[in-house]
Structure 1
């Protein structure tokens, strides 16, 4: 007698779709996701990887774990505050709340009093001006590179941008400033050398084709030794003399001086020193969502806002809401982490080390994201075996430590204190598997 093929017992698709757990999953995931899970389980049964009797349980379990995003929340235990690979600045609770409120219909371009169209981003503009009174006008676009592109396009398309050779930088992922500026149709007029540039270098380069002078804050590196540069104040006097606008790209988004970062340029000081326009990122030291911040003289900023390119780089309603809340609300997590109390950090670190059998070692964190390159953030960390790093990254919650000198280091600077218990459980789980 011929044995019956067990594959005949694989549940039919309509049978699986009728399961209460599968029907309930439709409120969380799309129909094609459900079908993909069902077909995958059926194929595994046909291949003999699971039995026909296990298909139903596999489908139910996978749909229970299914999410609509591939992004995994991570506890940042590296000590790097603005970690580009982790999305840079974490949003404050008020920014998250504002983002959620803006997810539905909102008056992003509507005057509710008159029922007519209004100007987009008016609340964010007002918040920027309140946070940086040195600026006459403000504009927010979708990222820092877009802010710089808009500035050079508006002021120097088809003309020259005068810039020091020492400021033609490359940052992460191969992003190069010269390529960005060239894409706007402007021509680079390089002055000085890699390590030394003088005021007379700029003066000699200014001519009828000069669209603007550009000064860029170097990101992620320092040049030391036999060096010289030209200050914003000096360049401002030169630009005023020749009637050429001065654009300063600050990058990090610091709006006012911070004693923790004494050498980091800030928007208020730079504008007071005479810059016509500054550009910066919103998701670095400002502590908000990805955004390009433009602050400066009213005439120049408004000319950028009226340029056709401004429409292509405008912010969406979610980022506008989160940025406004960041500027108007309590200080964001980035600022808290930079100013973390050393004594409290050590207390938390020692408690974690005692609970998991690790040792406490001195550890210097970093600002990250191109802010304050080379400035250490003195603290401490829990030292664990190097082999703990991978299970920590793959655990739940995922924890990203620093791997250094053959050890896994867990720095609590950027871990919210409310998550200390979750971090403890993640470390215990990772160490059990070693």
Structure 2
């Protein structure tokens, strides 16, 4: 039989879409899946078989085109299509604020408050005392001012939006002076100059990449200057022969020239990490005390809350920002407010915040405090009893992540995993494709799971997934 005839024969053997959908309707695993999903799965499956036949018809065994084989592929495709796209994962990378994995985990009280507000009506924009319409920002303004020492506050959907809104309000059509060494790029290739251009402000950069002096700011000020902008380089550091102007100096200069000062803290923290033996990160309270007119920072990085852009500052500045038409387009919803308020309430007691907020707890926990968790994971893997599995506790280095604390590497512990017949890349792929994906890392030629970003409740899931992978009948070469 020639190749073309072979192709045509195999193509004719493929079932029609309606027939394959009918088979899916009768299959226990697919019966409850919506019909639209099954139709798509049937079409995708038949298309995939058709492409394979046209490319290499001789690559099929005799039973590859049986109803059972095609149905099995269609069921797998239907289950995949029916699975939520946004899924829970297990973070075994050791990167605490992992942008790709959803950044900061929320405190239990924040999760509970989201559920309460989401399930019921709320006073989102209703003043209960006056019995009339109110502002959604009142939910968090008082507590933000209480914690930070600021006079006024508001919140938008992320920090980039906060910077955009502030610049649009305070400097549209006018110059904003920024040190060249602070023109940072944040996640997704968004850059401060780009955000500034979108706001309508005119960038006036001064100094050099590694050195900027107060006289550079003084010489750049003109009648067109709207404000002085200081950007905290929270996602990188320049080391060596450097010079920069502190916020206190900038505020003094701005006061003499009757100009406002805005600081973009990026990550932003209410906790002085040096108290825990870590590198000092400028706190929000320090920026407010220094006299900045406006301070912006993220809610879902070092703060350990939901995605939000927090804007603190003088009442007249905040009032003008609130009146900007962009504010409505950038506002946050009730669930974000619920999570943010509950998170902020924890900061009334800093020790309680460090204990209850997963991000802070993860950053401040010592290596030895992680040993019980590492031993728990090791015992769970050893209890599988499969001779193909070999694991051990190894030293590791965790990171804060999320563009925060770039110089900080936290001594940590990890559990290495070796499965005979599988290489580290095979293990990484297999764990990543589990019903609950487990994301680890490959280091020094071995797959490791850093326990700093795990919780004890995840140990059983990890062990069960490893057992399933190791017991698979088909082994891959390393």
Give the TM interval when normalised to the shorter protein.
0.7 to 0.9
**Partner residue in 2 for 1:349:** 374
Counterpart-to-counterpart distance in 2, 1:94 and 1:161: 40
User: Can you list the C-alpha shifts for 1:229-273, whole angstroms capped at 9, x where unaligned?
Assistant: 111111111111111111111111212322344321110111111
**Partner residue in 2 for 1:336:** 361
Please state whether the residue corresponding to 2:343 is helix, strand or coil. Answer: helix
**Partner residue in 2 for 1:414:** 453
Does the CA-based 8 Å contact 1:257-1:269 persist in structure 2?
no
User: Can you list the C-alpha shifts for 1:33-75, whole angstroms capped at 9, x where unaligned?
Assistant: 3543465578889999665578888877776776463123211
**Partner residue in 1 for 2:350:** none
From the superposition, tell whether residues 112 and 24 of structure 1 become closer, same or farther in structure 2 (CA, over 3 Å): farther
Q: Does 1:323 align with 2:340?
A: yes
Structure 2 residue corresponding to 1:299, chosen from 311, 316, 320:
316
Shift of 1:100: 2.9
If asked which structure has higher relative contact order (CA below 8 Å, sep 6+), I would say 1
**Partner residue in 1 for 2:407:** 374
Structure 2 residue corresponding to 1:235, chosen from 223, 238, 250:
250
Q: Does 1:128 align with 2:144?
A: yes
Structure 2 residue corresponding to 1:384, chosen from 417, 426, 430:
417
Moved more, 402-411 or 287-296: 402-411
User: Can you list the C-alpha shifts for 1:286-323, whole angstroms capped at 9, x where unaligned?
Assistant: 11111101112222122211111111111122212221
Counterpart-to-counterpart distance in 2, 1:39 and 1:390: 27
Please state whether the residue corresponding to 1:89 is helix, strand or coil. Answer: coil
User: Can you list the C-alpha shifts for 1:319-338, whole angstroms capped at 9, x where unaligned?
Assistant: 12221122224532111111
Gaps of 5+ in 1: none
Does the CA-based 8 Å contact 1:124-1:320 persist in structure 2?
yes
Counterpart-to-counterpart distance in 1, 2:227 and 2:469: 55
When the two chains are superposed, the root-mean-square deviation of aligned CA atoms in Å is 3.1
- Residues 19-418 of structure 1: matches in 2 within 5 Å? 25=33, 32-37=36-41, 51-52=66-67, 67=82, 69-104=84-119, 105-112=121-128, 116-132=132-148, 134-258=149-273, 259-260=275-276, 261-329=278-346, 331-353=356-378, 355=382, 357-385=390-418, 386-387=424-425, 388-418=427-457
Shift of 1:160: 0.7
Shift of 1:118: 1.5
Moved more, 235-244 or 52-61: 52-61
TM-score (norm 1): 0.87
Shift of 1:351: 4.0
Does the CA-based 8 Å contact 1:10-1:55 persist in structure 2?
no
From the superposition, tell whether residues 35 and 99 of structure 1 become closer, same or farther in structure 2 (CA, over 3 Å): farther
Please state whether the residue corresponding to 1:366 is helix, strand or coil. Answer: strand
Counterpart-to-counterpart distance in 1, 2:14 and 2:320: 73
Counterpart-to-counterpart distance in 2, 1:92 and 1:346: 23
Gaps of 5+ in 2: 1-12, 54-62, 347-352, 383-388, 419-423
Counterpart-to-counterpart distance in 1, 2:14 and 2:271: 71
Shift of 1:124: 2.3
TM-score (norm 2): 0.80
Shift of 1:8: 8.6
Please state whether the residue corresponding to 2:401 is helix, strand or coil. Answer: coil
Does the CA-based 8 Å contact 2:153-2:312 persist in structure 1?
yes
Please state whether the residue corresponding to 1:211 is helix, strand or coil. Answer: strand
Counterpart-to-counterpart distance in 2, 1:121 and 1:352: 44
**Partner residue in 2 for 1:427:** 466
Counterpart-to-counterpart distance in 1, 2:366 and 2:64: 54
Please state whether the residue corresponding to 2:327 is helix, strand or coil. Answer: helix
Counterpart-to-counterpart distance in 1, 2:377 and 2:33: 38
From the superposition, tell whether residues 384 and 9 of structure 1 become closer, same or farther in structure 2 (CA, over 3 Å): closer
Give the paired residue count: 426
